[in-house]
Amino acid sequence: MRVTLLAILFCVCTNATLLAQDQQPKLITWQEIAALPLPAPDHKLQYGPDSLQFGELRLPQGKGPFPVVVVVHGGCWLSAYNLNYMSHVSEALTKEGYATWNIEFRRVGDAGGGYPGTFRDVAMATDFVRKMAKKYPVNSKKVAVMGHSAGGHLALWLAARKGLSRKSDLYTKKPLKLRGVIALAGIPDLATYSMDKGSCNTAVEKLMDGMPGAQPYRYRQASPAQMLPLGVPQRLVQGANDPIVPVTQSQQYAHSAKAKGDDTQVILLENTGHFDVVAPMSAAWPSILSAVKEVLPVKRH
């Protein structure tokens, strides 16, 4: 009798465990995205003299001029990760009628990368849209920025930099005006993230060449959370199951941004991880596309 009861309990527990495992969301991994065939860009263009100062331009079919989404990749600001994995998002947006400018830049580990070089590069790459408009059918007056993870931080910073003082070492004269920002699992607050748990948090100190206490000036110039308000619509798309960037990064930033008058929304997606938001084949993609269209409407040609 005792043996039979134990057997029943074992079956019940085993079935419950299997059921719980089946109910766990299947999250898209970095390896799955990296294994996808890379879609070729229409043009590879240099925006600066360094070999890493280039971008990939993709153009929709039609005459244009097309609204532009500047795409900023993540990878903990480190040289180990490049723009390739964001080519799938770029291709998907181009099919929706957007010109996409997927930019590369110097990162931590590259000569000239980190503060201030990384910031100067993404600024130069974004302002380069004006020059592209002279040769290609892109509308430099209808531009939004989309960034993922560390690239989400840089995307928000690109919208914030217009408020920098002329004395700032990150100052750019007449930065390109943006219509909005879409941060995918972005990192808007460098100071809190540097002391948080996650796979990228230790890279903040490398990017800034010091922790917030040692480099307060740099954090004021480079962390969107310390540069509010931005003055443009911001959509912060975050997976509820993201193990790399805590949901609190977006939530706390949005609370502060709204308090200062910014049009800021957090789009929290259930059963979504860190890389689902950059996978057009994921269930998260319709929500992301909707956010892009909200800040940068597109007319199909």
Q: 167-199: per-residue pLDDT in tens?
A: 999 999 999 999 999 999 999 999 999 997 767
Mean pLDDT value of segment 18-34: 71
Band (pLDDT 50/70/90 cuts) for residue 109 is very high
Domain annotation covers residue 139? yes
Q: Specify the pLDDT at position 235.
A: 98
Residue 4 lies in a domain: no
Task: Take residue 119 and report the two structure tokens written for it.
Answer: 């910031």
Q: Find the helix or strand (DSSP H, E) in which 43 lies.
A: strand 43-46
Q: Looking at residue 135, which CATH number applies to its domain?
A: 3.40.50.1820
Reported pTM:
0.91
Q: What is the pLDDT of residue 300?
A: 67
Residue 199: what pLDDT? Answer: 77
Residue 106 lies in a domain: yes
Query: What average pLDDT does this structure show over 217-232?
Result: 97
| pLDDT confidence of residue 26 | 87
When pLDDT is cut at 50, 70 and 90, the band that residue 25 belongs to is confident
Give the whole-angstrom CA distance, residue 274 versus residue 212: 25
Question: Please, which residues bridge with residue 43 across strands?
Answer: 57
The pLDDT value given to residue 299? 83
pLDDT at position 258 over 60? yes
Give the dihedral sign, CA 292/294/297/300. positive
Instruction: Say if 273 falls within a structural domain.
Output: yes
At 191-209, the pLDDT tens digits run: 999 997 767 999 999 999 9
- Which tokens sit at 263? 């049009």
At 14 the pLDDT is 41
Per-residue pLDDT tens over the stretch 212-223? 999 999 999 999
| Domain annotation covers residue 24 | no
Domain holding 111, by residue range, is: 29-295
**Of 11-20, 154-163, 255-264, 288-297, which gets the smallest average pLDDT?**
11-20
Instruction: Give the mean model confidence (pLDDT) for residues 64-92.
Output: 97
For the chain, the average pLDDT equals 91
Alpha-carbon span 239 to 76, nearest angstrom: 17
Q: What is the CB-side half-sphere exposure of residue 79 using CA atoms within 13 A?
A: 12
Number of structural domains found in the chain: 1
Would residue 2 count as lying in a domain?
Answer: no
234-243 pLDDT per residue, tens? 999 999 999 9
pLDDT at 23 over 60: no
The yes-or-no verdict on residue 4 having pLDDT over 70 is no
Q: What is the per-residue pLDDT for 181?
A: 98
Mode of pairing for the β-strands spanning 138-148 and 180-184: parallel
